[in-house]
Structure 1
């Protein structure tokens, strides 16, 4: 069965420093090994793909990537450079790799144009965004131009976590809760809700949002969101689709990256439907073979397994 992974990270020597803040949330030995693997684009990575039975990786720059750069002009230049590098790697291995662009969201107009260039000239399949950009989220009015271009090009934006602007007080005194084990998930699911209530999907009804880690918990709260929205003070906000769950079922696509567990996958299938779930490994932070074994052994219909493994990615990304 053809298998395509959508959350497959890499980094370059030039850009590796942007991820230094993430080192504090990982065990030193594990971070060193992940950092080594991130720098390897085609050697050990291809061997690991073969061993795991992963046919295609959709590569993306590791968090926080370009978005950590404070100088917009440098961000624009480095985004173009890393997207060119990614396109060159894909051209050398067109049957094994595809890619998501990095965007210099510090300059929204330049980011929109870079998305257009990446898709129309470099053949990339959309873009991956790592959380906020210098404190600005994707519902910001200045970033609507990026959504306009993504919708016009019919490509998704993949929203991936990164360190937050600040730390919620409830986590104070508990640094073990900060990072991908917990806080990144709640930050990212909140970011998605900002997009819904901020009107992004009302303005761009067919925009496509990808979300990793089995949907960052959102598939499991659809009923609760709708129930409380009916009770809650709307503060002047109204939703064209009526309820929050309607946007999550329509605009949201999730991947299995980093969650190799049957119960949440089966729940997501019931909540969102098989057409909205895709495969991912979260390499190198999870092992490819663990993810592919999970996909092949989880109790699913073969039709749903094929959609998750490759069919939905082929349709959504034009692979």
Structure 2
């Protein structure tokens, strides 16, 4: 049987596409794979009211104000992205579920958007954490097959934070925790937050370390050119936080603690060789305390990475090599990123069927205790 050039090219292209999706090259249909999106944001009306109050009263108090709160929630221009973000952050029912259905997303793991409860005084922050987690648990109860959730808490008051962490897991059935990076310009390696890290380890639930605008100590250079947000400042800030956790010895003290980093690891995979190299040098000359392991070993043991808002195949390849396939999870970063684009990216990635299953659902099911 003769095959003309057009038929040959069509068959070859189909075979390559099938291979890139991990499907058989003979075109047989592939069994559907569960898609769990692991960094999907929401807000509550109570939080929005509190954010706007502090933003209007103290507009220069935090770089979070111009990079997020005011632009999204303070009368955004109708039809703008900010207006859509506001509407979709507040929706945990019809529009969100319709978007998931259209894109082929089976479940979202919901977490409160930046800056969460971390810019308020301790009493208010603790109260808002409770109401926010109740709001989240109610949404999951309405749609238990479609949503799981990460609890927020107020690091400003570690005692009450631990109490809320325990309630969130044991009573509300939530799947982990969200910390929107720095609190009062402090990071989780600070000794006062030790009870929080101890509780997360004891509860066997990860802390998703999500970016926010750079803390006041590093905010200056980010105020120009809109650099404080997702274009640069968010990743630099969260990556700095994670490096502090590694180099401080936190993971020597809490070896079973799990931290999740979004956005392909906030640049740490790129830096890992140099972190290993310089950690040894600084330990030898006395500039830092020696660690039990290399930074790269902590990265693989204690840190998981999601793809949220980062659809670059070459970066995904680096992340898999650096973190290990068992520590990589898929995410969209809804509503800030497009669900269909995120699905197309992961469906088109050159992965084996086993790798695809790990990234799309198995790792999330294991780490976040999802049935």
1:176 Cα deviation after fit? 2.4
Partner of 1:210: 260
Partner of 1:2: 34
Partner of 1:152: 202
Q: Which has the larger radius of gyration?
A: 2
> Does the aligned pair in 1 maintain the 2:158–2:193 contact within 8 Å?
yes
Q: 2:154 aligns with which of 84, 104, 109?
A: 104
Moved more, 25-34 or 230-239: 25-34
> Does the aligned pair in 2 maintain the 1:25–1:179 contact within 8 Å?
no
> Does the aligned pair in 2 maintain the 1:25–1:176 contact within 8 Å?
no
**Does structure 1 residue 306 correspond to structure 2 residue 357?**
yes
CA distance in 1, matches of 2:123, 2:113: 20
Instruction: After superposition, give the CA deviation of every residue in 1:232-285 in whole Å (9 maximum; x if it has no partner).
Output: 3442411111x2111111101000000011110011111111100001100000
CA distance in 2, matches of 1:164, 1:264: 24
CA distance in 2, matches of 1:167, 1:33: 32
Q: Mind listing any 5+ residue stretches in structure 1 that lack a counterpart? A: none
1:217 Cα deviation after fit? 0.6
SS in 2 for 1:253: strand
Moved more, 244-253 or 222-231: 222-231
**Does structure 1 residue 239 correspond to structure 2 residue 271?**
no
SS in 2 for 1:64: coil
**Does structure 1 residue 136 correspond to structure 2 residue 186?**
yes
Partner of 1:12: 44
**Does structure 1 residue 293 correspond to structure 2 residue 344?**
yes
1:23 Cα deviation after fit? 4.5
Q: Mind listing any 5+ residue stretches in structure 2 that lack a counterpart? A: 1-32, 56-64
CA distance in 2, matches of 1:305, 1:38: 28
**Does structure 1 residue 194 correspond to structure 2 residue 226?**
no
**Does structure 1 residue 251 correspond to structure 2 residue 283?**
no
CA distance in 2, matches of 1:171, 1:178: 9
Partner of 2:7: none
Partner of 2:22: none
1:165 Cα deviation after fit? 2.0
1:231 Cα deviation after fit? 2.4
Moved more, 152-161 or 21-30: 21-30
1:168 Cα deviation after fit? 3.9
Cα pair distance change 1:66/1:251, threshold 3 Å: same
CA distance in 1, matches of 2:153, 2:223: 34
Cα pair distance change 1:24/1:93, threshold 3 Å: closer
RMSD between aligned alpha carbons? 1.7
Q: 2:216 aligns with which of 166, 174, 188?
A: 166
1:166 Cα deviation after fit? 2.2
CA distance in 1, matches of 2:330, 2:297: 23
1:230 Cα deviation after fit? 2.3
1:171 Cα deviation after fit? 2.4
CA distance in 1, matches of 2:323, 2:367: 15
> Does the aligned pair in 2 maintain the 1:23–1:31 contact within 8 Å?
no
1:172 Cα deviation after fit? 6.0
User: Aligned residue pairs: how many?
Assistant: 317
Q: TM-score, normalised by structure 1?
A: 0.95
SS in 2 for 1:14: helix
Moved more, 164-173 or 179-188: 164-173
CA distance in 2, matches of 1:173, 1:16: 23
> Does the aligned pair in 2 maintain the 1:119–1:126 contact within 8 Å?
yes
